[in-house]
Chains A and B, each alone.
Chain A
C-alpha cells in the first residue's frame, strides 16, 4: 500500500518551459531584453515582470469583485509589514490611481471608495522582557508612515488589545485565558475533559461585557496574553491562538473603518501552506472559507485575497524592484515562550518546510494545491452559529464522532457512561460551538493541550509528556 500508482505528471508550465528554451536568456514576454528574473521556468526582464505581476493582481481583483459594481465600497488592507502585504498596498495604489487625463476627462465611477490600511502591532511579543513603556520596538509608527505616504487612512491596534473589552464582541478570549491559566497542567492533558472545558467558554453578550469589565492597563493586558501563551504547552497551539486573535482583530478593524471588504496579502505560497496546515490540524470544514479568493462568510465584511496567484518569491522581487520599505521583525516571535526543545517544531513550521521543499523539486506544487482548494465549496452554515473563538463555521456531531473512534473508557464501564456523556457533550456543544474544526471540535487547535477551548476531541488528551 505504500507504492503509489501515479507520479505527478508534467504540468502545462513544465511543458511550456521546453518551448521557451528557444529564448533562453531572454525575457519570455518581449524576447528582446536579457532576462533578469526566473519564476517557475519563465524568464522575465524587469519591466515585463512588473507588468505581468500587475496584471495577475488585476485579474484576481476582478474575479474577487467584478468591476461593474453598483456602489463603490470601502476596502481595508491588512498590513503586517512583510513583503506580501507591502506589495498589496503598492499594487492597490497603482490600480487605483488613474492617469490624470482619464481622471479629469471622464466621470468614471470609482471601484473602491476609500482605501484604509490597518496594522496589528505585535511588538510586545517580540522579546521576552521588553519594557512596555518604551515604544522602541513598536511597529505602529513605521506602518503609519507607510500608509500615510500613500494618503490612506491608517488604523492600528496592538495584539494585546484582544483583552480590551472594546475590541472583543464576546469576551470568550477572556474565558480561554482564565481557563488555561488556572487549570492544572495535567487536567488539560487528560482525556475526556474536552466537552466539559468547551462548555465553559461561553460568549458573553456585548452589553454585559461593557458594564462589568474594568479597563485594563496595557501592562495587564500584555501579562494576560503572555500568561496565556505560557500556559499553552505546544508551539502549534500558541500559533493557532495568535492566528485567531489576528483574524478577530482584523475583522474588528475593518468594521470600525466602515469597510465592507477586507483585503489580505496572502500569497499563493502562503495559501498553499495554510491549506495543508488547516488540513493537518483538522480544520478541513472551514478550510474553503479561510483560503478562498473571496469569502463572504463574515457578516458584512467580505474577505478577499487578491495576491493568491502570486508566489512569495515574486512578491519579494516586486518589493525589491520598487524599493518598497518593509518593517523588519513585525511578526510575534514565540521562541522565548518555549521551555523545552521539543516545542521548537509546530505544525505550521513543518508544513512550511514541507511545501517549500517540495516546491523546489516539483515547482508546480504550490499552484496545484491552491487550485485544488479553490474548487471546494464552503459548507452551508450561517454566521450566527460561528465558533466564538475562531469565528469559523461549526461542524455538528464532532464530539460524538471522536468519542466513537477514540475510546477512553475502561473495559468494565462501557455503555451506560459513554452514552450519557455523549448526550451531555452534544448538548453542550451546540451552545458553545466550537469551531468547526475539527476534530477537535473546536478550534482545533489546541488540540493538544492547551487551549481547551479548542479542545479537539482527540486531542485534548494529549501531551502528557
Chain B
C-alpha cells in the first residue's frame, strides 16, 4: 500500500481510510458509514457479493448462467461483478447476457444500446428477446390499446415469462437478476402492507424456482433464478458504477409510476436516512418473518401445473401471460386484471353466443399458439447461430 504515513511520519494522513489506514478516504460507505478509499470499497463490495454467492451455494461449477441485463445500473454492475468474480475465484461459470426488449420507444431502445456496448466491453455473448417476437405485441402497442393504467401488469407478467423463454433458448441452468437490497426491503414492506403472506415468505429467499417438490414434469422450473445483490445497497451499486466508470443507462421507465409502491419506496429512503442499516434490518426481519410463516399450515401455495396453451408453469389452466394475451388479441384487455373469473365468464358467454363452444375455440387457439411458437423459436435459433460466433469466455 502506498502510505503517506511511511514517508512522512510526522504528518499523519488526513482522514485515512478506516480499513487500510494508509490511503486517504474518498467516500463514505452507505451501508456502514465508514470512510473508505476506493480500493477498500471495491474490496468490501465485491467480497460481500462473493460471500453471498458462496454461502448460498448459488452456482455449481460449469453452470451456464444468464445475466438478466436491462442496461440499467444494477444489471450493468451485476454483469461486471459476475465476470470479475468468475475470473477471480474461478467459479467456472459460462456467462451470457439476456435482455428483454419490451418495445418501449425512448427507453428500452436506448438502454439496449448500452447492453450491446457492455457485450463488447465485457466480451460476454448477448441474446435479446423481444415482446413483439414472443407475443406479437410491444409495450407501445399495448399502451396504445389499454392506456397507461395497469400496463405494468402486462409488462411484469410478460417479462417474467420472456426471461424464462430466453433462458430456455440459451439452454442455461440459472438466471441472475440485479435486484438489490433496497428492492427486497421494499418488497418485504409491501407484502406486509398488502397482507400477502405467501409472497412475504418467498420474497426474501435468494433463489426462487427452487422446486424440490413435485414439478418434475415442468420444463421451465428447472431454471433457477437468484439475486446475488440481495444484500447490496442500491447506493453502493451506483457508487461502484461511478468509481469503476461503468457504462450504464439511467432513465426510469416512461410508463412506470405507481402510487402505492411509491409510498413504500419513499418511506424506505426516509428510514435509511435515519438509520443506514434499516435496509438490511428489514431484510433480516423479512427472513425471520418468512420462517414464522413457514410453520403456518394455512398458507400453502397453489399446486403448479403447466399452461395448457404454452406449457409454461402456471397455477391455472391458462397461464397469466396467455390470459392477458388472449384479452389483447380479442379486444378484451381487462381479462386477467382484477377479478378475472367474472370477465372470463363473460368472455365464455360471448364465445357461446357467437356459435363457438369454448372448448373448440380453446383447442384451436392451442394449435395456433403452438404453430406461432414454432415460428418464433426458429427466428430465435437464428439468433443463437449468431451467438456461436461470439467470443467465448475461455478465449478472452
Could you list which residues of chain A lie within 8 angstroms of chain B, going by C-beta atoms?
A: 1-9, 189-191, 234, 236, 275-276, 278-285, 287-288, 345-347, 350-351, 354, 357-358, 362, 365, 368-369, 371-373, 375-379, 395, 398, 401-402, 404-412, 414, 438-440, 444, 447-448, 456, 458-459, 461-465
Contact = CB atoms under 8 A, between A and B. Distances in A.
B188 A279 contact: yes
Contact of A456 (B190, B271, B281): B281
Contacts of B21: 410
Q: Give chain B's interface secondary structure class.
A: helix
B295 A2 contact: no
B344 interface: no
Contact of B258 (A4, A285, A354): A4
B276 A462 contact: yes
6 contacts: A288-B292, A345-B274, A347-B271, A351-B267, A404-B51, A456-B281
A42 to B, nearest CB: 20
Q: Chain B, interface size: which category?
A: 35 or more
B32 A282 contact: no
A463 B28 CA distance: 11
A464 B1 CA distance: 25
A225 B318 CA distance: 64
A377 B295 contact: yes
Given A284-B289, A408-B19, A440-B277, A362 B284 contact: no
B157 interface: yes
A465 to B, nearest CB: 7
Interface in B251-282: 252-253, 255-256, 258, 260-261, 263, 265, 267, 270-271, 273-278, 280-282
A444 B197 CA distance: 24
B155 interface: yes
Interface of B: 1, 17-21, 28, 31-35, 39-40, 43-44, 47-48, 51-52, 55, 74, 152-153, 155-157, 178-179, 183, 188-197, 200, 231, 252-253, 255-256, 258, 260-261, 263, 265, 267, 270-271, 273-278, 280-282, 284-289, 291-293, 295-296, 298-299, 338
Contact of B281 (A4, A190, A439): A439
Nearest to B262: A2
A358 B298 CA distance: 28
Contacts of B152: 3-5
Contact of B277 (A376, A395, A458): A458
B256 to A, nearest CB: 4
A376 B298 CA distance: 11
A357 B266 CA distance: 12
A187 to B, nearest CB: 13
Given A280-B281, A282-B285, A287-B285, A1 B32 contact: no
B278 A462 contact: no
Contacts of B74: 1
Contacts of A345: 270, 273-274
Given A4-B152, A279-B188, A448-B275, A405 B289 contact: no
Contact of A407 (B44, B256, B287): B44
Given A362-B260, A406-B31, A410-B40, A369 B278 contact: no
